[in-house]
Amino acid sequence: MIPDPNSLYGPLDPAPDAGYEDAPPRMGFFTDTSVCIGCKACEVACKEWNGVPQSGLDLLGMSYDNTGALTANSWRHVAFIEQPRPAADVLGEPADTGAGPQFLGMPGAQPPGRASGAEGRSDFRWLMMSDVCKHCTHAACLDVCPTGSLFRTEFGTVVVQEDICNGCGYCISACPYGVIDQRKGDGRAWKCTLCYDRLGAGMTPACAQACPTESIQYGPVDELRERAAARVETLRERGVPEARLYGHDPTDGVGGDGAFFLLLDEPEVYGLPPDPVVTTRDLPKMWKRAGLAALAMAAATVAAFVGGSS
């Protein structure tokens, strides 16, 4: 089989590219944060089904988020973002406009939406979003895995096999989203499997099954992309111009995500990288350069010997 020219970058259907013949359609998640109610049923269902251990009993003070991040022990993570009240307040004091620091065109200290997001809004906003492994079309974690523990499934998803992982940790630095993580006291890498065991039995992943408002939708990625585009359109018609998709585009830096999102603000507001790129994108170029360098070295060595003998 001739490898797809987009094997490492660009639009691609990952399962056939990984060698599956007659692969089923690529399956994934579309997470519509506009209907997320922050109930965390996804986090609990994931832990229950997959036997994921406790991730700590700490009050983080990050609104209602006491999970903090996607880690080896949290494969779903609901982020809560409180965006401030508009300046005019009930105390009847004039809004703070004149005095104070002047805007000098410098980048803000806070992420977009946190400090300036109140403009154009009349109300306080509380955003909620259930984050998960993106199951990238071009998954750097998988590319760098030396043991073959990480593999591409027939559904186009990316799964770690815990009995093969040797805990080298290469995948952790490779992930452009910071999703995959090493478990303390265990050493191996863990992340969302998109419930590979349930998919094989024709079942819906635990998180999507538990979601009461269909914020997490599971299905063939092609269908989900159509549904997502229609939802953005509807929201914009209803006066939510800030609705946008994230990770849906097959031409983006990771070839599109198998798990993508509808957001109501900039990705950074939710703690997502604005323009993720598969870290192995430049691998061929790098190898080419390394090869060239090696050749040049070899040539120089030969030249030196040749020169020396003359």
Footprint of another protein on this chain (CB under 8 A)?
35, 37-41, 43-44, 47-48, 54-59, 61, 63-64, 66-67, 82, 84-85, 89-92, 123-128, 212-214
Closer by beta carbon to another protein, 51 or else 107 = 51
Q: Least Å distance between CB 159 and another protein?
A: 22
Q: Give residue for tokens 């159509």.
A: 226
State the DSSP H helix or E strand holding residue 125, giving kind and residue range, or none if neither. strand 125-132
Q: State CA 91 to chain mean position distance.
A: 41
Q: Least Å distance between CB 36 and another protein?
A: 8
For residue 128, the cross-strand partners are 80
Q: Report the distance separating Cα 117 and Cα 40, nearest Å.
A: 25
Residues contacting 98, CB < 8 A, separation 6+: none
Closer by beta carbon to another protein, 175 or else 210 = 210
Q: Least Å distance between CB 124 and another protein?
A: 5
In one-letter notation, the amino acid at residue 271 is: G
Q: Least Å distance between CB 30 and another protein?
A: 15
CB 161: neighbour CB atoms within 10 A? 15
Closer by beta carbon to another protein, 126 or else 287 = 126
Q: Least Å distance between CB 80 and another protein?
A: 9
Tell me how far CA of residue 56 lies from CA of 60, 222, 289, in angstroms: 10, 37, 45
Closer by beta carbon to another protein, 144 or else 235 = 235
DSSP letter at 2 equals: P
Closer by beta carbon to another protein, 146 or else 212 = 212
